Each structure stands twice: as structure tokens, then as C-alpha cells.
Structure 1
């Protein structure tokens, strides 16, 4: 199964921060979603980011690579998204997934070790993203 992960970053004095959220039933996560029929990966990244966070991304996000997760062998495809509007440090967004849930969004320091509140798949994903940006230095 393929999943698309839209990655949104911001630069702070202490380093890069990545968009993350607290799911009311499943801990701390990154935005991710499933490809719908006849949908391109880039379109999924933009759509999922909007549906789950309310953020509008510019078209044609940058492909960062894919990761086959050790936990469940799912293939996750990562796209760096540029958002069209600067956001606050945290916010709540009502998402219609699973009958409707409120997600608490915040910025997470990319180089900070994730706590146990992060599911193993997202811990692995953060490691993948960190390696990607370390290789760009």
C-alpha cells in the first residue's frame, strides 16, 4: 500500500521544524494520505495537506524520496510542500476523516528525538526526513 506524506518545514533560529499534529486517538503524527483513483502523487500531497491541516500548498511539491517502512512494509512517498501563507505556532483543525476529528497542529524540531507518543512509523519517517535534509547541507 502506498501513502503520500506532505512535508512542511519552517526555519527557526534553533533549526528546521516540521509540521506535526496530535491525533486524538493515535498519538503524534505527520500528515499522510492514500492515493485516490487516477490521482498523481503531487496532487495527493497538496490535497491531504489541505484536508488534514487546512493549509494550502503551492502546486508541484518537490519529491524527496520514498521509504519502505520496516513496521508494515508500506511504501511512503515524501513531498516537500511550500505553503502559501505563514502559520501560527499551533492551531486546531477539524478533519472529516473517520467521522470527524479535531487535530492539534504544531511545529516539531526536526533534529529532536521523538518521544514515545510518536508511533514507530512516524519515528522512522522523521529519521528519513532528517537524513534527506542532512544530505543537502
Structure 2
């Protein structure tokens, strides 16, 4: 099964932060979703980012690679999305997934070790993203 992972980064005080959220039932995660049938990967990245965070990405996000998650053997495709709006330090977005859930967004230092609050799949994904730093 193919999944799309739109990532949003920011540089703050010589530190690179990645946008993450606390899922009310499943710990700290990255935005991720299923690529719909016949949907272009770039469009899926923009759509998923909007559905899960409320953010509107600029067109043509940059493909940074794909990675098979060992935990569940899913193939994840990572796209670096740019958002022109000034983003807050934290915010809550009501997502329609799972009957309607509130996702608590915040910035996480990319090179900080993830805590046990991170689902193992997203720890794997974070490791992959760190390895792609030359593409940022």
C-alpha cells in the first residue's frame, strides 16, 4: 500500500524543525495518508496536508524519496511542501479522519531523538527524513 507523507520544515535559530502532531489515540506522528486511485503523488501530498493540518501547500512539492517502513511493509513517499502562511508555534486542527479528531500540531527539532511518545513507524520515517538532509 502506498502512503504519502507531506513534510513541512522551518529553520529557526540555526535549527531545522519539522511539523508534527499529537494524535489523540496514537501518539506523535507526521502527516500521512493514502494515495487515491489515479492521484498524482504531488496532488496527494497537497491534499493530505490540507485535510490533516488545514495548511495550504504551494504547488509542486519536492519529492525527497520513498522508503519502505519495516513495521508494516508500507511504501511511503515523502514530499517537501512549502506553505506561504506564517505558522504558529502550536495549533489544533479538527480532522475528519476517524469520525473527527483534534490533532495538536507543533514543531519538533529534526535532529532531536524522538521520544517513546512517537509511534515506531514515525520514528522510522523521521530517520529516513534526516538521511535526506542534502535535499532540503
TM-score between both structures, scaled by the size of structure 2: 0.97
Match of 1:110 in 2: 110
Deviations 1:48-90 (A, max 9, x none): 0000000000011000000011111100000000002011000
Q: 1:93 to 1:60 in 2, by over 3 A?
A: same
Match of 2:87 in 1: 87
Give the whole-Å Cα distance in 2 for the aligned partners of 1:87 and 1:38.
31
Instruction: Report the CA distance between 1:14 and its aligned residue.
Output: 4.3
Q: Secondary structure at the match of 2:121?
A: helix
Instruction: Report the CA distance between 1:37 and its aligned residue.
Output: 1.8
Match of 1:120 in 2: 120
Deviations 1:85-119 (A, max 9, x none): 01100000000011000000000000000000101
Question: Is 1:46 the equivalent of 2:56?
Answer: no
Q: Secondary structure at the match of 2:132?
A: helix
- Once the two structures are superposed, the pairs formed by residues 2-13 of structure 1 within 5 Å of their partners are 2-13=2-13
Give the whole-Å Cα distance in 2 for the aligned partners of 1:25 and 1:90.
19
RMSD, aligned α-carbons:
1.1
Q: Give the gaps of 5 or more residues in structure 2.
A: none
How many residues in Structure 1 have an aligned counterpart in Structure 2?
136
Q: Give the gaps of 5 or more residues in structure 1.
A: none
Give the whole-Å Cα distance in 2 for the aligned partners of 1:36 and 1:72.
19
Q: Secondary structure at the match of 1:5?
A: strand
